[in-house]
Amino acid sequence: MIAKRYEKAELMEKQGINLYPNTFRKQIDIKEIKERYGELRNEELEKVEESFVVAGRIMAIRSFGKATFAHIQDQSGKIQIFLQQKELGNDKYNFLKKLDIGDIIGVKGRLFKTKTNELTLNVLDFELVTKSLRPLPEKFHGLKDVEARYRQRYVDLIVNPSTREIFRTRTKILKFIRKFLDERGFMEVETPMMQVIPGGATARPFETYHNALGMKLYLRIAPELYLKRLLVGGFEKVYEINRNFRNEGISTQHNPEFTMLEFYMAYADYNDLFKITEEMFSSLALEILGTQKIQYQGYEIDLTPPWNKLSFYESLEKIGGLSKKDYMDYTRAKQLVTQLGENVKHYETLGKVQTKLFDLLVEPKLIQPHFIYHYPTEVSPLSRRNEKDPTITDRFELFIAGREMANAFSELNDPRDQRKRFEEQIKEKAQGDEEAHFMDEDYIRALEYGMPPAAGEGIGIDRLVMLLTDSPSIREVILFPLLKPEK
């Protein structure tokens, strides 16, 4: 079939038709025509002297002997066009018959309404703008095959309006967040994606190699340590929205590269972040969906502030159904995790085991927004310790729909404590924990100059887009998700 189209194209070319001219210029988006004239009656449309010049992809053709209806689609929408032999002349009308669904054409026409009251362009002239050599998927069912939709996102975008909508929404969300932070005096910055020491998160990094420098480099797992260096440098409110890379499994929640927002503000603590987070999410929902009660995969989730707050240990008791004896005793806690079907490695500390209990027993139940605060210090190597209890940190995570949506804390700015925390991580790494943090001497040096007290937060943008577009998989909200090669 593709071969047939190639033959046809060659034939057309022999007849002197340019299949890929770059001379046609559209003058208006289809949506604008519809907005301006969609409500007018035929008699009113007849008075519109203007003709309209649009371009778009042919999505459907309904051809009669001497007249043809078709739909063309541009970035803004679809409109019906009507082509008549008596209007176009024999040659042009015969040329029309050579066009295929999928071809891009330019059209000049006047508006009218059909018997079924559809706004339609009566074509005065048209030309081929781009020849399509591959047939589009079926008009009624569209492209359903998930693998094909991800591999050939361009086709998915042509034929599935819901896919286009998701990515428009994604862009709106990013715009809104930038505006939200800019209005509050934050400055957007860019920090290294390629790092000599990958820091700022507990994760396995991708490794790469710089030939000229003869040096191993890592793709960043987080921008955190660089953003905090900027606080040392004197910028008091900074944020970055960009890609992180983690060399881990792929699932409906994880893509190896994903988009993260991190923002840091000096002279603030984690209490300030509860409020900002509530404000950001609830105003974002209002902007995007027009409501704070959103539908997600069959759940109604109410983002109206204030949200639930529970300390980490409280949540293990109240939601996880555990007692202090269960989670404060290493042997007992480890036994519970094993019973629930997950492994505990020999180097994993009590804090880590408690986190596993949380992941298994609490996280999936946090459908409505919940802030969980005061995480164990062992699993929070960059967070400031609580003033009253140094075994926990002034840190929270936000959970919605059973998923971690944000991670926030008062920042640890004592270089002496930070060095100790890194040293603990080094020990864990030596024992085989590939996710443990690296020592970063330059970061310590920066803290030694003095970082103002600060609070910082990371928000996973892909998961946020999933939430607001009711998408079940992260691959639905990433334009080109990572897949293995086809063959």
Partner RNA sequence: GGGUCGUUAACUCAGUCGGUAGAGUAUCGGCCUUUUAAGCCGAGAGUCGCAGGUUCGAAUCCUGCACGACCCA
Shortest approach of RNA to residue 117 CB, angstroms?
7
Q: What is the 3-state secondary structure (H, E, C) of the chain?
A: CHHHHHHHHHHHHHCCCCCCCCCCCCCCCHHHHHHHHCCCCHHHHHCCCCCEEEEEEEEEEEECCCEEEEEEEECCEEEEEEEEHHHHCHHHHHHHCCCCCCCEEEEEEEEEECCCCCEEEEEEEEEEEECCCCCCCCCCCCCCCHHHHHHCHHHHHHHCHHHHHHHHHHHHHHHHHHHHHHHCCCEECCCCCEECCCCCCCCCCCEEEECCCCEEEEECCCCHHHHHHHHHHCCCEEEEEEEEECCCCCCCCCCCEEEEEEEEEECCCHHHHHHHHHHHHHHHHHHHHCCCEEEECCEEEECCCCCEEEEHHHHHHHCCCCCHHHHHCHHHHHHHHHHCCCCCCCCCCHHHHHHHHHHHHCHHHCCCCEEEECCEHHHCCCECECCCCCCEECEEEEEECCEEEEEEEEECCCHHHHHHHHHHHHHHHHCCCCCCCCCCHHHHHHHHHCCCCEEEEEEEHHHHHHHHHCCCCHHHCCCCCCCCCCC
Does 97 contact RNA by CB under 7 A?
yes
Report in angstroms the alpha-carbon separations of 126 from 30, 120, 123, 479: 16, 15, 7, 33
Answer for which of 1, 23, 290, 331 binds RNA (CB under 7 A) is 1
Shortest approach of RNA to residue 160 CB, angstroms?
10
| Site for RNA, residues 391 to 420, rule: CB under 7 A | none
Answer for which of 4, 293, 318, 427 binds RNA (CB under 7 A) is 4
Answer for which of 118, 127, 269, 314 binds RNA (CB under 7 A) is 118
Does 67 contact RNA by CB under 7 A?
yes
The candidate with the shortest Cα–Cα distance to 63, out of 30, 96, 86, is 96
Does 251 contact RNA by CB under 7 A?
yes
Smaller CB separation from RNA, 342 or 414: 342
Answer for which of 41, 64, 212, 388 binds RNA (CB under 7 A) is 64
Shortest approach of RNA to residue 65 CB, angstroms?
2
Q: How many residues does the chain have?
A: 487
Answer for which of 140, 234, 298, 331 binds RNA (CB under 7 A) is 140
Q: Are strands 299-302 and 187-188 parallel, antiparallel or unpaired?
A: unpaired
Shortest approach of RNA to residue 486 CB, angstroms?
6
Strand-pairing partners, residue 409, are 395, 456
Q: How many CA atoms lie within 13 A of 166 on its CB side?
A: 24
Answer for which of 21, 89, 135, 321 binds RNA (CB under 7 A) is 135
Shortest approach of RNA to residue 405 CB, angstroms?
18
Does 40 contact RNA by CB under 7 A?
no
x-or-dash string of contact with RNA, 323-352, rule CB under 7 A: -----------------xxxx---------
Report in angstroms the alpha-carbon separations of 86 from 65, 79, 209: 11, 22, 67
Stretch that binds RNA, among 1-9, 170-178, 421-429, 461-469 (CB under 7 A): 1-9
Q: Are strands 67-74 and 77-84 parallel, antiparallel or unpaired?
A: antiparallel
Does 473 contact RNA by CB under 7 A?
yes
Answer for which of 41, 47, 115, 325 binds RNA (CB under 7 A) is 115
Smaller CB separation from RNA, 93 or 176: 93
Smaller CB separation from RNA, 98 or 108: 98
Answer for which of 51, 76, 85, 311 binds RNA (CB under 7 A) is 85
Shortest approach of RNA to residue 262 CB, angstroms?
25
Does 89 contact RNA by CB under 7 A?
no
Shortest approach of RNA to residue 435 CB, angstroms?
14
Answer for which of 191, 475, 477, 478 binds RNA (CB under 7 A) is 475
Instruction: Look up tokens 């040293």; give the residue.
Output: 423
Does 144 contact RNA by CB under 7 A?
yes
Does 86 contact RNA by CB under 7 A?
yes
Shortest approach of RNA to residue 85 CB, angstroms?
5
Answer for which of 11, 13, 27, 148 binds RNA (CB under 7 A) is 148
Smaller CB separation from RNA, 113 or 229: 113
Shortest approach of RNA to residue 133 CB, angstroms?
11
Smaller CB separation from RNA, 9 or 181: 9
x-or-dash string of contact with RNA, 351-370, rule CB under 7 A: ---------x----------
Smaller CB separation from RNA, 27 or 84: 84
Shortest approach of RNA to residue 352 CB, angstroms?
14
Binding site residues, RNA, CB under 7 A = 1-2, 4, 8, 60-67, 69, 71, 80, 82, 84-86, 97-98, 100-101, 112, 114-118, 120, 134-148, 150, 249, 251-252, 340-343, 360, 472-473, 475, 483-487
